[in-house]
Amino acid sequence: MTGQGMLESLIAISVITVGVLAVMAWVVSNVSASNSSALRIGAASLSWEGIEAVRELRDSAYLRGAAWDTDIAGADNTAILVFDEAGNNFSFDFGVNALDEAGAILWRKGRLFLQSSSQPVGSVATPYRRLIRIENISANEKKVLSEVQWIDRGKPSSIISEERLFDWR
């Protein structure tokens, strides 16, 4: 009976160890899922921000008395949104045509997310890339697609927001 206490102790330690390891695996899984959710929420927000910025460009043209699509029409239908901090407004850079180009990177400067063909002063790169596509449906309608791409756990992910804009005057 001298070894029985030791055997019971080993079994108890093994059961406790398996329980602790299961809890640790569950915690790691939840943290990973939480990080993935945070990235997806950020991407959805940035994607919809692209749509809202295009809508703002349309409305600004209207307020200036210009044609409704003056600021959202370009030689190309693919662009990035460039935010001018001094003027507090958006414009398009039609020089970027793919998400893998350097200009598609979203930079973070304080609370702002910026896009530029080069890194804005005082900013840091984010895992996100954004591209805006504008398709002509008719003379009075355009389809706007805002795509945001990021890498999550080694795999590329993306989200696309779509909106139809009209000449509503």
The mean pLDDT of 54-80, rounded to a whole number, is: 87
Mean pLDDT of 57-73: 89
DSSP string over 135-149: EEEETTEEEEEEEEE
Percentage of residues of the chain with pLDDT beyond 90: 43
Q: What is the pLDDT of residue 75?
A: 63
Beta bridge partners of 129: 105, 149
Supply the pLDDT for residue 2. Answer: 62
pLDDT digits (tens, 9 = 90+) for 7-54: 888 888 999 999 899 889 888 877 777 788 889 999 999 999 999 999
pLDDT for the residue numbered 106: 93
Give CA–CA dist 60/68, Å, rounded.
9
Residue of 67, 18, 45 whose CA lies nearest to 165: 67
Say whether pLDDT at 142 is over 80: yes
pLDDT, tens digit, 9 for 90 and up, residues 39-52? 999 999 999 999 99
Q: Are 149 and 157 in contact (CB under 8 A)?
A: yes
Q: Name the pLDDT band for 109 (thresholds 50, 70, 90).
A: very high
CA distance 161 to 91: 19
